Copies of this chain bind each other. A is one copy, B any other.
Amino acid sequence: MALIIWISFTYLDAKASSALKKSSRYRSRSLSASSTDSYSSASCTGSSSEDDDISPREKVQKNSSGNFDFCVRNINQHAFGRREIEIAEQEMPGIMALRKRAADDKPLKNAKIVGCTHINAQTAVLIETLAALGANVRWAACNIYSTQNEVASALAEAGFSIFAWRGETEEDFWWCIDKCVNADNWQPNMILDDGGDATHLMLKKYPAMFKMIKGIVEESVTGVHRLYQLSKAGKLTVPAMNVNDSVTKTKYDNLYSCRESIIDSLKRSTDLMFGGKQVVICGYGEVGKGCSQALKGLGCVVYVTEIDPICALQASMDGNRVVKLNEVIRNVDIVITATGNKNVVTREHMDKMKNGCIVCNMGHSNTEIDVNNLRTPDLTWEKVRSQVDHVIWPDGKRIILLAEGRLVNLSCSSLPSFVVSITSATQALALIELFNAPAGRYKSDVYLLPKKMDEYVASLHLPTFDAHLTELTDEQAKYMGLNKAGPFKPNYYRY
């Protein structure tokens, strides 16, 4: 029964979200106008393939090798998907370097991985890398809307057992995951999950099979939260790795990405001019820091609100005025939330904003702006562009609400493939670590990626910047008490 409740929740969640089911800061290219780093590609065809009325489950399809252990929208779209994958390969230097370096070692030889993630060109690069490292995989989508059908076809054509298409029903969704878990001659020993659905299904429906798993790698905030709950409840019987909080990934997901995407989101949605604008940023964590840095670089005056005195002191030392929201709300041109909290910007605040004020959310949830209290009879909503609403007060005052208070950078900008490359490399290394760890290194608990692996992910991406690492001499390593290959910092190091 718990399963059914969960399913309903997931299903509704999936329906409600126009983009992503999980709260991870992730948006695949197929969901956006574009999200390439340097190479760009036509992505408009993603939707064109949904012309087909017959459910993929009812179709009989074979790839050109005669294989039919997959279920995708249309196997014939594989060529376009392959080109997309090839372009993505060029944009993901880290994971490709890993593929090349580890290809001989085959560190995932004998690994049998059930994967459940978004399926798009970048994921395909990950999947094919895992295979190149020796793994067998079966893969389903973690979201009923996010599959890039052509890419799924290309993977199927290449011989992968893919079960995913854009526009699955709730039932399809679980059927697909089930097909990945439960197949002939197939005892999976690893799970790569994004949201916890594959873990959940296997644990509930195939508990015996679940006990044979050597490790779980989970990427999303939601999935990690579920794992910690399972662990607390004593129900986690295998080691799991939380890759969501590894240093390199976190910095890219928050500081570096947001530094760029706040600019991009505001520009694309409102075409405003940044110079001289007054901006208040609620929250001065990594996201707030990134936003402040970028906006000041373009000539904004930045105010910050904080609840944590340490972060407030940081904001001061970085040249931001730390205020309570009410002190500046009548004067600012832009309000950005980045707290992870709820009702940070209330209706009362919005009543005081000046005409034309832009309000958007860069935080972790869509609760930061109290949008519900804007949906009242006295206010008029006018959609002026996709993701841009004018909310009009009786006196004619308009505030400009972006993405209806959801994460504006997911809705109004794109995610560079480079960031996805960091995440993918982290996932792959976590799989390698768990799969190869000597008995006893990991117990049935949730772990962070070992710092040395984190450092390795970083090192895979340095060539992109033509960055040259210095090596410790023997004498220096001894002096510092360090291994020359790392790790180089204690676990509590703050970077």
- Least CB distance, A340 to chain B, in whole angstroms: 7
Within 8 Å CB of A273, what residues of B? 37, 256-257, 260, 416, 418-419
Q: Nearest B residue to A495 by beta-carbon distance?
A: B494
A425-462 contact mask (Cβ, 8 Å, vs B): 1 or 0: 00000000000000000000000000000111011011
Q: A272-B416, A273-B416 are in contact. Are A388 and B40 (CB under 8 A)?
A: yes
- Taking CB atoms, residues of chain B closer than 8 Å to A344 are 476
Chain B residues whose CB sits within 8 angstroms of the CB of A90 once the complex forms = 355-356
CA distance A312 to B327 in the complex (A): 24
Residues of chain B within 8 A of A342, CB atoms compared: 475-476, 479
**A272, A313, A385: which has the most chain B beta carbons within 10 Å?**
A313
Q: Assess whether A80 is interfacial by the CB under 8 Å rule.
A: no
* CB-based contact B259/A462 at 8 Å: no
A384–B357 CA distance with the chains assembled, in angstroms: 36
Q: Known contacts A309-B455, A311-B495, A416-B271; is A259 also within 8 Å of B39 by CB? A: no
Contact B475 A343 (CB under 8 A): yes
Quick check: B480 and A340 within 8 Å, CB to CB?
Answer: yes
> Looking across the interface, which residue of chain B has its beta carbon closest to that of A90?
B356
Complex Cα–Cα for A310 and B278 (A): 19
Contact between chains at B308 and A489 (CB < 8 Å): yes
Determine the chain B residues whose CB is within 8 A of the CB of A414 once the complex forms.
Answer: 271
Closest B residue to A286 using CB positions: B494
Most buried by B among A90, A367, A459, A470: A470
Residues from chain B with Cβ under 8 Å of A470 in the complex: 305-307, 324-325
Most B Cβ at <10 Å: residue of A37, A417, A468: A468
Given that A479-B342, A492-B492 are contacting pairs, would A270 and B36 also be in contact in the complex, using a CB cutoff of 8 Å? yes
The answer to whether A322 touches B462 (Cβ under 8 A) is yes
Q: Give chain A interface residues in 377-430, CB to chain B under 8 Å.
A: 384-385, 388, 390, 398, 400, 413-414, 416-419
Q: Is the CB of A275 within 8 A of B309?
A: no
Once the chains bind, are B251 and A462 in contact (CB under 8 Å)? no
Q: Provided the pairs A38-B356, A251-B314, A306-B469 are in contact, do residues A298 and B297 lie with their beta carbons within 8 angstroms?
A: yes
| B35 x A271 contact (CB < 8 A) | yes
Taking a contact as CB atoms closer than 8 A, the residue among B40, B384, B458 that contacts A39 in the complex is B384
How far, in whole Å, are A367 and B417 apart by their CA atoms in the complex? 32
State the A residues within 8 Å of B (CB). Answer: 34-42, 90, 245, 247-248, 250-251, 256-257, 259-260, 263-264, 267-278, 293-294, 296-301, 305-325, 327, 331, 333, 340-344, 355-356, 358, 367, 384-385, 388, 390, 398, 400, 413-414, 416-419, 454-456, 458-459, 461-462, 464-473, 475-476, 479-480, 486, 488-489, 491-492, 494-495
Q: Which 9 pairs, one residue from A and one from B, show the smallest C-beta to C-beta distance?
A: A297-B297, A322-B467, A309-B459, A309-B458, A276-B316, A275-B317, A273-B416, A308-B488, A316-B465
Q: List 9 A-B contacts (CB under 8 A).
A: A36-B270, A38-B272, A38-B333, A38-B400, A40-B384, A257-B273, A259-B299, A260-B274, A316-B465
Q: Give 16 A-B pairs besides A260-B298, A311-B488 with Cβ atoms closer than 8 angstroms.
A: A38-B400, A39-B390, A40-B385, A247-B310, A251-B313, A251-B317, A276-B465, A309-B462, A310-B488, A310-B495, A313-B462, A322-B465, A323-B468, A343-B473, A492-B492, A494-B495
